[in-house]
């Protein structure tokens, strides 16, 4: 989607009162190739630093003495000029995750850090930041079209928020969501979306069981369903495709792979609509 040099040149700020955490994140980022990494252990400096440097991404610890991460988030929202604040919060407390997302964070990572997860989420948010900047500079001359509907069945708030951000920049799409498989099936029957994105490990019925229900119903049997799951070994992928998923993507999501899979599923949905719903469920992009 973007040249890797553009992503690696993005301005990143690390905010954590623990020097060891700062050094670890700096090492991880620089080892991958990020060239503009700033850090501070003083939360009172963050707003002034952002006002001066306009960081593309801020990695923000939530548990800091004096001024906690939630207070820093509130201050950042006041100094952000473009209306797009890219903050990845870091916490060892699962209960804080939903509150952080509601407060304006774009995503979160858990402590202790998992290097692959950190790098994936950093890369995703930087791509989103670059996409937002690109969209702001693009002339709004495209004709108005009726948006196509995408249904995302997902119980994880961070995963849902990422997809919401990706869909929000597509005026040709609108997103519906459901937090469990049963509700997802009911919403699919009622709204008839062009594409369904389906988590596998859902409360109640699993994503695979929801897919089976959709396939048994003539009203939803033709809708391409893309699986999104943290269970993404070669065996999991093979099993998912054999069950009838259009494509099977691992988590954390890779934005480029997600976009390609979504566009392929939308294209298949459009083809099926043009020919009156004929074709096979297993038509997949190679």
pLDDT band at 104 (very low <50, low <70, confident <90, very high): confident
Task: Please write the tens of the pLDDT for every residue from 7-47.
Answer: 999 999 999 999 999 999 999 999 999 999 999 999 999 99
Q: What is the pLDDT of residues 208-263, one digit of tens each?
A: 999 999 999 999 999 999 999 999 899 999 999 999 999 999 998 999 999 999 99
7-135 and 148-274 in the same fold: yes
* pLDDT at 196 exceeding the cut of 80: yes
pLDDT tens, residue by residue, 45-93: 999 999 999 999 999 999 999 999 999 999 999 988 777 889 999 988 8
pLDDT of 139 over the 50 cut: no
- Averaged pLDDT score across all residues of the chain: 89
Average pLDDT over residues 137-166: 81
What does each C-alpha distance from 44 to 12, 47, 56, 75 come to in angstroms? 17, 7, 19, 10
8-state DSSP, 231: -
Q: What is the pLDDT of residue 169?
A: 86
Task: Give percent of the chain above pLDDT 90.
Answer: 67
- Tell me, what DSSP letter sits at residue 255? H
pLDDT for position 93: 85
Give residue 97's pLDDT: 82
3-state helix, strand, coil in the chain (%, to 5): 50, 15, 35
- Short-list 12, 107, 15, 16, CA closest to 57: 12
pTM above 0.85, yes or no: no
Please check the confidence at residue 279 and state whether its pLDDT lies above 50: no
- 148-274, CATH topology level: Rossmann fold (3.40.50)
Quickly state the pLDDT bin for 276 (edges 50, 70, 90). Answer: low
Domain ranges in the chain are: 7-135, 148-274
Residues above pLDDT 70, as percent of the chain: 92
- Provide the β-strand partners of residue 194: none
Query: What is the distance between the terminal CA atoms of the chain, rounded to a whole angstrom?
Result: 19
The pLDDT of residue 282: 46
**If you classify domain 7-135 with CATH, what class do you get?**
alpha beta
- DSSP assignment of 89-147 equals EEES-THHHHHHHHHT-SEEEESSP-HHHHHHHHHHHHHHHHHHHHHHHS---SPP-PP
pLDDT per residue as tens digits for the range 111-136: 888 898 899 999 989 988 888 877 66
């Amino acid at each position: 989607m973007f040249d890797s040099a553009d992503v690696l040149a993005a301005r990143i700020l690390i905010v954590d009162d623990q020097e060891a955490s700062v050094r670890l994140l700096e090492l991880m980022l620089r080892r991958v190739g990020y060239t503009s990494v700033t850090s501070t252990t003083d939360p009172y400096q963050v707003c002034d630093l952002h006002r001066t440097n306009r960081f593309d991404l801020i990695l923000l610890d939530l548990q800091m003495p004096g001024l906690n991460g939630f207070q820093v988030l509130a201050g950042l929202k006041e100094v952000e000029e473009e209306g797009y604040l890219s903050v990845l919060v870091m916490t060892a407390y699962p209960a804080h995750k939903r509150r952080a997302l509601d407060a304006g964070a774009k995503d979160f990572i858990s402590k202790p850090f998992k290097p692959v997860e950190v790098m994936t989420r950093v890369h995703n948010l930087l791509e989103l930041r670059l996409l937002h900047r690109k969209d702001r500079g693009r002339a709004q001359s495209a004709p108005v079209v009726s948006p196509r509907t995408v249904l995302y069945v997902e119980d994880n708030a961070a995963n849902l928020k990422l997809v919401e951000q990706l869909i929000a920049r597509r005026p040709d799409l609108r997103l519906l969501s459901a937090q469990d498989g049963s509700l997802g099936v009911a919403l699919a029957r009622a709204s008839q979306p062009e594409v369904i994105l389906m988590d596998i490990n859902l409360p109640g019925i699993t994503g695979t069981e929801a897919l089976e229900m959709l396939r048994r119903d003539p009203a939803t049997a033709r809708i391409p369903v893309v699986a999104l799951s943290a269970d993404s070994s070669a065996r999991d992928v093979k099993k998912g495709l054999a069950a009838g998923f259009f494509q099977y993507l691992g988590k954390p999501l890779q934005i480029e792979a997600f976009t390609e899979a979504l566009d392929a599923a939308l294209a298949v949905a459009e083809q099926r609509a043009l020919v009156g719903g004929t074709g096979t469920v297993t038509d997949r992009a190679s």
